[in-house]
Structure 1
């Protein structure tokens, strides 16, 4: 007879440790902290129950009493670093400024823990820190004339935008580190090649756009702020809200 299918469960509803016996020398929090350390140092692909067990000094199989699946471990890890948000400061009343501040915190967390970009999922939004984060963001949006569903979309869109921007920042940084020459020399060679292609006249629209944009050189911080402001404006245009969408406003 076929075995009975396992029932789905939420890791947060599961007891800290299954089974009986004396109190162990480590906890679920110890396991998650070790997992975060390993992923921070060597990436998410280096993570394994065996390596975590070696880090905290226990048997590999005993970890499954605390964390039955790797997906549960990932959820615990995402929630652990979500605890790095400073959600104790009350919203200022300026929802744009508050959401920009949240976005900058998100960016900092993703730079400290680059592996989280691969694990981001709405399915990991049930932990205490994740719920605290969502509650805080909704508090920042209290005065915004949007339905609740649109507010949740705004939060998700801001997070997704930050994730995309940080992924690009990390990729550029990684590529720059691997170059056998300076980043400036690489950029100069690529720019010269592009200008040569545009000079041939085959891409007139692109040439016009790049010539126009060439007068304004934006740094990473300015690109981040400008992109974020456009996301916020897509939900509530700044003119309708009676405020400027400039980052320093």
Structure 2
């Protein structure tokens, strides 16, 4: 099939363009930027080799000389988005603060590019920007006195927590779009239903919990607390 590699390969191990001919007219950066613009404007489903080629002003088949598979195109896009991390020249020495800052950046990047949650995968963990990110994370975790394997788990769990949080927030926002009522009205109706169920006495533990509730949950505060508790769980006792 056209554009399908005969065996597994890594896009980063390939030359920028295969085949003979004049100097490549486009770089991988150009291709990734075009695909990201399309996804940001119209969603990931709008990204196709044909659409990207049209954005660049080249033929669809010629694009396969640069990017053999659509999966490779997604990897280029994820790498381009990952370039948005602002990483200082050196960690601060406070691993909790550094990892918290990275978690905030990940969340912000995913909001700038809502399609990321659809294509993000650990298979893309070897791209130039992914390796840059991982190297910086390991550097900021040097003061943490735990096994290297636990440090990798920490990085993975922070990323997974941020992605799950953003996906849930985006799903709620997507569901609310187009409805003839506001999110506040929706939550008020659901809250009233919940209180009605709890008042039956069938859920005593939930009733006790709600009786001590401080009111509406602040998403930003919950995010910060979640990351803080996750990081604390990796700290050696007494640290």
| Matching of residues 2-151 of structure 1 within 5 Å | 6-151=6-151
Is contact 2:95–2:140 with CA below 8 Å preserved after alignment?
yes
**Deviation readout 1:31-90 (Å, 9 max, x if unpaired):** 111111111111111111000011111100001000001111111111111110011342
RMSD: 1.5
- RCO higher in 1 or 2 (8 Å CA, sep ≥ 6)? 2
Whole-Å separation in 2 of the counterparts to 1:205 and 1:82:
43
**Deviation readout 1:195-245 (Å, 9 max, x if unpaired):** 111101111111111222x225431110000111111122116x621xxxx
**Deviation readout 1:82-124 (Å, 9 max, x if unpaired):** 1100113421111101100000000011101111112222210
Aligned to 2:183: 183
Counterparts in 2 of 1:216 and 1:143: CA distance versus 1, 3 Å: farther
| Matching of residues 157-196 of structure 1 within 5 Å | 157-196=157-196
Q: How much has 1:179 moved relative to structure 2?
A: 2.2
Secondary structure of the structure 2 residue equivalent to 1:235:
coil
Q: Which ranges in structure 2 are unaligned for 5 or more consecutive residues?
A: none
Whole-Å separation in 2 of the counterparts to 1:163 and 1:231:
14
Is contact 2:17–2:24 with CA below 8 Å preserved after alignment?
no
Secondary structure of the structure 2 residue equivalent to 1:187:
helix
Aligned to 1:245: none
For this pair of structures, how many residues does the alignment match? Answer: 235
TM-score, normalised with respect to structure 1: 0.90
> Moved runs in structure 1, 4+ residues, more than 4 A?
none
Whole-Å separation in 2 of the counterparts to 1:41 and 1:195:
41
Q: Which ranges in structure 1 are unaligned for 5 or more consecutive residues?
A: 242-249
